[in-house]
Amino acid sequence: MGITRDARPSLPPAVVSQDNRLRRTSESKDRRARQTIFVAGAQTVAALVFLAPIVWMYVASLRPDLDIRSGNLVPTRVSLDNFVHLFELDIVPQAFLNSAIIAAFSSVIVTTVSTLSAYALSRFRFRGRGFTHGFLLAGQLVPGLVVLVPIIVAFRQLGLADSLVGLTIAHLTLGLPIAVLLLRNYLAEIPVALEEAAIVDGCSRVGALFRIVLPLLRPALVAVTAFSFILSWGEYVVALSLITTDDKKTLPLSMQYLFQLYGVDLGVVMAFGVIISLPVAVLFMFIQRSFVSNLGTGGIKE
């Protein structure tokens, strides 16, 4: 918009009129500032009302059971007792470990595999490219619930039921299609000329991928890995169907188990909710920018 800025009329030379003009702009600036503050306030209030259930959970996790039950919304006694109590239960650290292992392995595999295929889809022209693309995205179109029964039946026959390996494998489908889609969008924005130059300079195709493309792709790789991690971390129905042994339970299953045992103590259950959701929320805050901006570029043409 350089032209319009240059073409903006300069201030008139007469001192009186310049004085008026300044006063007028400062008045409208004041009004606009007041308006902006009002809108900012409205946005904050709307977000707080919207997030109230989550805020309530975080506050409740710090309060004794008795205080929450009193129905009084303002906390009077605040402590980390619920969290201490929570980690004294054997199932909690175990579930934390199980979920972390499953989510870490499945998300790293998803990112690796989808980076390779997104790269081929965006850089090579080959027979069957359209088919491959459609095939990979079909994963997104088939709902998990529809394939739940056949997957559980097959996993039982293959000896993958009630095993962390089995659940890790089952979680691979969660993030894969969206990862391929996002990485392909990112790759489309990286100029091919960079790799061409590297290859002309004697770099191999794989070398160009590792030395040129992957470093440029890093924000997308982080976002995709984190997103797959988040999906696996909170996955419920497949875990519920596959896992039966207590020490193999993931966090969502353990929270349910804990509620059945300690349902009476609201504070402890809410503390478990915080333990499960806080890592995910923090992780998302890191990738939020690249994720939201990618959603944005999808909507904007040119």
Nearer residue to another protein within complex by CB, 16 or 145: 145
Among 153, 165, 261, 264, binds another protein (CB under 8 A): 153
Q: How many residues bind another protein (CB under 8 A)?
A: 99
Phi-psi region of 64 (alpha: psi -120 to 50; beta: other; left: phi over 0): beta
- CA atoms of 257 and 262, how far apart (whole Å): 9
Nearest distance in Å: CB 97, another protein: 17
Residue 95 interacts with another protein (CB under 8 A): yes or no: no
Quick one: which segment of 19-27, 86-94, 216-224, 290-298 binds another protein (CB under 8 A)? Answer: 290-298
CA distance 251 to 106: 16
A 10 A CB-CB count for 36 gives: 10
User: What is the H or E stretch that residue 46 is in?
Assistant: helix 15-60
Question: Among residues 24, 129, 211, 218, which is the contact residue for another protein, using CB under 8 A?
Answer: 129
Scan residues 9-28 and list those touching another protein (CB under 8 A). none
**Residue 282 in the binding site for another protein (CB under 8 A):** no
Nearer to another protein, 17 or 43 (CB): 43
How far is residue 75's CA from residue 190's CA, in Å, rounded to a whole number? 52
Of 82, 168, 173, 228, the one binding another protein by CB under 8 A: 173
Q: Are 124 and 242 in contact (CB under 8 A)?
A: no
Residue for token digits 């009077």?
A: 76
Say if CB 207 and CB 268 are below 8 A apart.
no
Among 2, 13, 53, 215, the residue binding another protein under the rule CB under 8 A is: 53
**Shortest Å distance, C-beta 250 to another protein:** 10
119 binds another protein (CB under 8 A): yes
Q: Choose, by CB under 8 A, the member of 176, 221, 224, 242 that binds another protein.
A: 176
Tell whether residue 288 is a contact of another protein (CB under 8 A): yes
**How buried is 44 (Cβ within 10 angstroms: 0-12 exposed, 13-18 middle, 19+ buried)?**
exposed
Q: Does 169 bind another protein (CB under 8 A)?
A: yes
Q: Does 74 participate in binding another protein (rule CB under 8 A)?
A: no
Q: Any contact of residue 300 with another protein (CB under 8 A)?
A: yes
According to the binding rule CB under 8 A, does residue 154 interact with another protein? Answer: yes
Q: Give whichever of 217 and 235 is closer to another protein, judged by the CB atom.
A: 235
211 DSSP 8-state letter: I
Measured over the CA atoms of residue 71, residue 73, residue 75 and residue 81, the dihedral's sign is positive
Separation between Cα atoms, residue 147 and residue 153, nearest integer Å:
10
180-239 residues near another protein, rule: CB under 8 A:
180, 192-193, 195-196, 199-200, 204-206, 230, 233-237
Considering only the stretches 9-17, 79-87, 90-98, 265-273, report the one whose residues sit in contact with another protein under the rule CB under 8 A.
265-273
Q: Is 158 in the site for another protein (CB under 8 A)?
A: no
**Cβ(63)–Cβ(75) under 8 Å?**
yes
Pick the closest to residue 137 from 114, 167, 160, 166 (CA basis).
Answer: 114
User: Using CB under 8 A, which of 81, 101, 139, 190 touches another protein?
Assistant: 139
